[in-house]
Amino acid sequence: MAEILVVLAILGVLLAIAGLGSDAVERQRVAGATRELLADLQRVRQDAITRSSGATSRGAGIRFASATSYSTFEFADIDVDYTYDGTAEELAGSVRTKTLSGSLALTLGDPTKTVIIFDKQGMARETNWAFVPSAGLRFTVQSSRLPALAKCIVLSQARIREGVLNGASCVVS
């Protein structure tokens, strides 16, 4: 009888470790996807400053296509009006698409701001060439398996910062 209790205790400990392990894996997936988005935003900004080429190039941008994918591109302003008019103004060969895996989803703080352009000075702009709001734009990466676990990024005119979602606000360090 004591052997059965020992075996059950060992099984209980192993199941508890397995349960904690799956949360840790999901936590790492959220953190990894957030860091990847942060790196892509920083790379797009850097590309706008250093790699913009051609007479109609106005910088580089990022377009959020859905809750699970986004694309980065060089902004080639075909009609030279400093307005992003759609995917036709994304320089051919410069578009890179990323897709979030499995249970992860990306939420925009302002769902109308699906395209962000960085000009050649590295300043974040909207599609109509206005600067992004001074309060910044928020991007949240969240898991459907652990909804309470969410990381966020705040993009202001000249800064990109990572934080943790606390209720409705992004707490950045």
pLDDT of residue 89: 95
Q: Which amino acid, 33?
A: A
Task: Grade residue 117 by pLDDT with cuts at 50, 70 and 90.
Answer: very high
Q: Examine the pLDDT at 35 and tell me if it is beyond 70.
A: yes
- Per-residue pLDDT tens digits for 152-165: 999 999 899 999 99
pLDDT of residue 147: 87
Q: Taking residues 77-97, what's their average pLDDT? A: 94
* Chain mean pLDDT for the chain: 91
- Per-residue pLDDT tens digits for 42-65: 999 999 999 877 788 999 999 999
pLDDT of residue 135: 86
pLDDT of residue 148: 87
Q: Give the strand order in the sheet containing 137-143.
A: 104-108, 137-143, 150-155, 160-166, 169-172
- Per-residue pLDDT tens digits for 136-153: 999 999 999 998 889 999
What are the structural domains of the chain?
25-172 (3.55.40.10)
pLDDT of residue 16: 62
**Among candidate residues 103, 117, 121, the one with its CA nearest the CA of residue 41:** 117
Specify the pTM: 0.85
